[in-house]
Amino acid sequence: MKNNYTINHIEIPAPDLNKGVQFYSTIFGWEFEVFSENEYAFFKIGDTGTGGGLDTNLRPADEKQGVQIVISVEDIPGKLAEVKENGGIITKEKTEIPGGLGFYACFIDPNGNHVQIHSME
């Protein structure tokens, strides 16, 4: 069997599970199923088969530590407006990546996680 080394599952710290579920379902349309007496919520990203979970037992790292999540979007300014409207804090506005690699922006979600978004436009 050939292993293509794709990411199977990602877990996001969510000390306040309800805030995390509300934020990510509103901003990105992720579907959630809550388990373990409100300590864990699985999410699915559309029909991609990709997903993960929000975990109340994990704590966010600061922006210079830990793994960073980068989420693909079509409209960075529009998505940043949604992030701000839903309790996120913008830490970097839309910025070009040299070499024709698109653009990115950064924010902190309501649980304190540092997240990036990316678009080619």
- Give yes or no for residue 1 having a pLDDT over 70: no
* C-alpha dist (Å) from residue 98 to 75, 93, 114, 121: 19, 16, 22, 13
- Give yes or no for residue 53 having a pLDDT over 80: yes
Helix (H) or strand (E) holding 72: strand 69-72
Is pLDDT larger for residue 53 or for residue 45?
53
The model's pTM is 0.88
Contact 117, 73 (CB under 8 A): yes
Give per-residue pLDDT as tens, 107-121.
Answer: 999 999 999 999 999
Please give the domain boundaries of the chain with CATH numbers for all domains.
10-119 (3.10.180.10)
Contact 113, 106 (CB under 8 A): no
Tokens describing residue 8: 């199977």
What's the pLDDT at 100? 96
82-102: average pLDDT = 97
* Average pLDDT, rounded, for the chain: 91
79-87: average pLDDT = 98
- Give yes or no for residue 24 having a pLDDT over 60: yes
